[in-house]
């Protein structure tokens, strides 16, 4: 791996016993044919540790930017630092710049009091792209009130100010590199004389020409007691500009200058300090030692930011959820998602696994279909069934490069950006709303025919998009509709029918009962039992299959009972009572009936019927 590791280190201070700091963490990552360049200057008039004749800092200073030809600026950041808690408004080539963040550190300088130092940054990519190569003037960093009102800075000879610009650029002739920018503020001092920082997200594939650079504020060439900078246990040096025991010496190895007072901007070759296969880099700083008089002395070193640039030809799989569609009263979720390979230096191979978790439980797996090129992406769709034991509200986690056990199979530029989360709320089956029942006459054996749409008269149909009828709640879930809603035959009483009334998001559910009643039978006034298959029996409509327990008695004009019938015995004009004339057909004439429906809702009915042939 052609690995370039730029290490920005802030503040070397003296006689420290108390500090406050922010841990360094990954801020930005860039992948492509990229490299890095830094410029900057001090606002100090001279080196503090050699001269205590000045306390004021300069109002401005300049530096010249000369980018290689045929390059494109990808990102640029302005860093500035000084004594005090911070000045967040500065100017670069007269353009106002406001700090995006400011880090501070404090230490107790004994009789000089509690002193604070700051480091700020702002992205200035557009300005660098617009203005390009040339002279840059930094001004507006005003710490005069701080120095005037807190004499401990100058007494302690830690009064300083300075600035630097870091430019990440693209060059088509470069190998595919990875640039990691880390920001924070960490220190070592006389009580904590060693600091180790572990940089993650490192994948060393080729260590040729690897290098490390740093920016240090308030570094003094004359103070080098126990001072060292090492990587993976190897002391770094760049003689004659930087000696192994004096890393923070006011030098700028980008310009080979030694008058970057109280600041350092240096680069070291470290190709022998990292190994192919490394996944992290260990950076260590030390301070503290005895001077020629046997007095212990130590510097304060504040790590402000770190950059790594790697020849790292690796993919970087990320995943986003585009949509998560849910159906009403359905535990299926249809997910449209996109797998991206934008922050990468190599193709993401096909069949990269994807895992789907609900509240941490694996419920589905998938994989990519095709190779996804650098800066490419592919969109997929999957429908997953949410188990019944999962609540309606849950968190869905999608993880690309996960074989379902939390393990990836692809080595990536960044291993901790493979997942995304989506909060899902299923739409449960709505509560049912009861409507008044529909009542129809029993057509026989508790069967009746209904127009189910009659129930809609009880609903404001203008509120709904579509209305359907179902026999059960389960039928709603399977969308098994009643198709003959205007001529629906029911053979149960009561029978519950359900209505779904569709809304924009779901549907309302209504229910009503179909009730069957025994309506009065229709009794004809005559019939002709002549076996012509027409009107051959005393056909009392709505009787035989409705009032199944009825009793029918027939009398002649003399009051003699000649026939007794029920649901199984219809009167075809024959005699079935008495000792004589059994099964004979009665003559033409008028006969009288007594009909007992044996229904508490009806009285015994009597009347006459005419028999004719």
Q: What is the pLDDT of residues 305-328, one digit of tens each?
A: 888 877 778 899 999 999 999 988
Among candidate residues 608, 604, 527, 592, the one with its CA nearest the CA of residue 560: 592
Token readout for 384 is 């997953």
Residue with tokens 């996109």: 338
Instruction: Supply the pLDDT for residue 9.
Output: 37
pLDDT at position 11: 36
**Among 142-151, 286-295, 575-584, the least confident range:** 575-584
* Residue 176 CB-half CA count within 13 A: 15
Residue 10 has pLDDT above 70, yes or no: no
Per-residue pLDDT of 217-267, as tens digits, reads 887 888 888 889 888 888 988 889 988 988 888 899 999 999 999 898 888
Strand positions, DSSP E, 360-481? 361-367, 377-385, 393-400, 419-425, 432-434, 438-441, 448-450, 467-470
Residue 28 structure tokens: 């930005």
User: Hey, how many other C-beta atoms are within 10 angstroms of the C-beta on 378?
Assistant: 16
What is the rounded average pLDDT for all residues in the chain? 89
Q: Grade residue 446 by pLDDT with cuts at 50, 70 and 90.
A: confident
Tokens linked to 491: 């053979």
**Higher model confidence: residue 313 or residue 425?**
425
Cβ-contact 116, 35 below 8 angstroms: no
pTM of the entire structure? 0.62
pLDDT in tens, 321-379: 999 999 888 899 999 999 999 878 889 999 999 999 998 899 999 999 999 999 999 99
Specify whether the CB–CB gap between 5 and 140 falls below 8 A.
no
Domains of the chain with CATH codes:
4-310 (no CATH), 318-425 (2.60.40.10), 432-517 (2.60.40), 520-613 (2.60.40)
* HSE-CB of 194 using CA atoms within 13 angstroms: 6
Cβ partners under 8 Å of residue 25, min gap 6: 182, 183, 184
- Short-list 184, 209, 206, 207, CA closest to 197: 184
């Amino acid at each position: 791996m052609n690995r370039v590791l730029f290490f920005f280190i802030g503040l070397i201070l003296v006689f420290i016993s108390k500090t406050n700091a922010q841990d360094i963490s990954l801020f930005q990552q860039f992948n492509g044919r990229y490299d890095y360049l830094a410029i900057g200057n001090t606002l100090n008039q001279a080196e503090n540790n050699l001269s205590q004749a000045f306390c004021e800092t300069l109002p401005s200073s300049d530096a010249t930017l000369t980018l290689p030809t045929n390059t494109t600026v990808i990102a640029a950041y302005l860093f500035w630092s000084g004594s005090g808690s911070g000045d967040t408004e500065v100017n670069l080539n007269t353009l106002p710049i406001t700090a995006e963040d400011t880090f501070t550190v404090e230490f107790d300088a004994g009789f000089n009091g509690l002193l604070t130092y700051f480091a700020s940054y702002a992205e200035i990519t557009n300005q660098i792209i617009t203005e390009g190569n040339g002279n840059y003037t930094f001004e507006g960093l005003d710490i005069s009130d701080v120095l005037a009102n807190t004499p401990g800075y100058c007494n302690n000879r830690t009064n300083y100010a300075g600035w630097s610009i870091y430019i990440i650029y693209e060059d088509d002739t470069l190998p595919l590199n990875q640039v990691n920018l880390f920001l924070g503020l960490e220190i070592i001092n006389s009580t904590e004389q060693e600091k180790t920082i572990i940089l993650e997200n490192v994948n060393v594939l080729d260590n040729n020409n690897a290098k490390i650079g740093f920016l240090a504020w308030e570094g003094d060439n004359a103070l080098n007691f126990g001072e060292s900078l090492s990587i993976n246990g190897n002391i770094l040096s760049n003689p004659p500009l930087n000696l192994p025991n004096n890393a923070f010496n006011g030098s700028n190895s980008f310009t080979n200058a030694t008058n970057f007072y109280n600041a350092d901007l240096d680069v070291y070759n470290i190709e022998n300090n990292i190994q192919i296969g490394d996944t992290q880099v260990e950076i260590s700083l030390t301070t503290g030692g005895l001077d020629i008089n046997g007095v212990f002395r130590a510097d304060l070193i504040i790590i402000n930011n770190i950059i790594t640039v790697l020849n790292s030809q690796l993919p970087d799989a990320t995943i986003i959820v585009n949509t998560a569609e849910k159906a009403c009263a359905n535990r299926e979720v249809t997910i449209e998602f996109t797998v991206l390979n934008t922050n990468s230096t190599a193709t993401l191979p096909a069949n990269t696994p994807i895992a789907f978790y609900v509240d941490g439980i694996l419920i589905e797996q998938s994989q990519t279909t095709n190779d996804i090129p650098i800066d490419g992406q592919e969109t997929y769709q999957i429908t997953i069934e949410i188990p019944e034991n999962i609540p309606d509200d849950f968190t869905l986690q999608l993880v690309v490069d996960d074989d379902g056990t939390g393990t990836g199979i692809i080595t990536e530029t960044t291993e901790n950006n493979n997942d995304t989360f989506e909060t899902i709320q299923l739409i449960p089956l709505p509560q049912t709303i009861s409507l008044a029942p529909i009542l129809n006459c029993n057509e026989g054996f508790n069967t009746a025919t209904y127009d189910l749409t009659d129930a809609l008269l009880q609903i404001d149909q203008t509120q709904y998009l579509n209305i359907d009828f179902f026999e059960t709640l389960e039928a709603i879930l399977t969308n098994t509709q009643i198709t003959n809603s205007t001529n629906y035959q029911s053979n149960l009483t009561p029978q519950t029918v359900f209505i779904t009334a569709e809304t924009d998001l779901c549907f309302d559910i209504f229910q009503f009962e179909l009730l069957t009643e025994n309506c009065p039978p229709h009794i004809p006034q005559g019939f002709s039992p002549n076996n012509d298959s027409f009107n051959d029996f005393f056909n009392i409509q709505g009787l035989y299959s409705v009032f199944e327990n009825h009793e029918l008695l027939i009398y002649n004009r003399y009051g003699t009972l000649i026939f007794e019938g029920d649901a199984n015995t219809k009167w075809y004009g024959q005699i079935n009572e008495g000792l004589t004339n059994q099964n004979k057909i009665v003559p033409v004439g008028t006969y009288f009936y007594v009909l007992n429906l044996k229904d508490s809702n009806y009285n015994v009915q009597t009347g006459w019927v005419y028999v004719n042939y």
